[in-house]
Amino acid sequence: MATPTVPIAGALRLADYWTIVYKRTWKGGVITSFVTPFFYVVAMGVLLGGYVTADPDRLGGAPSYLAFIAPGMVAAQAMTIAFSETTYPVMGMVKWQRIYYSMIASPLSVGEIVLAQLGFIVLRVAFSCGVFLAVLAPFGVFGSVWGTVLALPVQMLIGLAFATPVFAFAAGLEDESAFALVFRLGMIPLTLFSGTFFPIDNLGPVLEVVARITPLWHGVDLTRMLVLGDVHWGRAAVHVAYLAVLAVVGWRLTVRRLSRRLVK
């Protein structure tokens, strides 16, 4: 099998397809894109946060609990979208609608197909997390305007870092039965124990080490630094490198596994 390349030109040929998909589905998510972040912030940050008092040093420099969890919730949102777009939708295009087979029957390669879908997912993450950040703005949790602007492409990188390995996993499955475990044993624990809602040093020495090697912790910590305007550039570079390497490795695995599935 040939080594996968980065077929950007071919992927752009699928822009019309994914535009049509979005036109048919955007209404189902546009309300929740605004309402869900608002209720998350009010429930977890304002109401629950009103009972949480801690020294800013214990909250990563955040002046309040709301300011601490807000960046974490944005990063978790990017991860959630990546999971949702690369599990059942991928299975549907392989097994139920079999759309991938019609695509591969054209001059498009598997790499082009994968890259186009990942581009769609990244745009979904950008829109949803952009709305999330806009909803957070009136609550006064942003310590840096430019840091908050830079946090948006970081969310796109977080989404890509999760989308590619989950895509690779889903591409090789025969049915959807494993997805329940992916959400229960993967996405939910990551959301709870990767620094989104409390500092990971509360987990204890062993679990803290485990948390630090998870992709979401890297995304949460990087987002929090940018939003609060307290960037440690060396640590930020490690976060970016970690997420970028994961995205690239995941993409190559996705192309390989989907090629084995489609090209027999």
Mean pLDDT by groups of 10 residues along the chain of 264 residues: 58 84 74 73 72 66 84 93 93 90 87 92 92 87 90 96 95 89 92 90 90 95 93 94 96 92 76
Structure tokens at 155: 């969310």
Domain residue ranges of the chain, discontinuous segments joined by +: 60-262
Please tell me the predicted confidence (pLDDT) of residue 202: 86
Please tell me the predicted confidence (pLDDT) of residue 28: 66
Please tell me the predicted confidence (pLDDT) of residue 64: 83
SS (H, E, C) 95-137: HHCCHHHHHHCCCCCHHHHHHHHHHHHHHHHHHHHHHHHHHHH
Of the candidates 259, 86, 39, the one whose C-alpha atom is nearest the C-alpha of residue 186 is 86
Please tell me the predicted confidence (pLDDT) of residue 51: 64
Residues 133 and 152 sit within 8 Å (Cβ to Cβ): yes
Please tell me the predicted confidence (pLDDT) of residue 40: 75
Structure tokens at 84: 């949702």
Please tell me the predicted confidence (pLDDT) of residue 123: 92
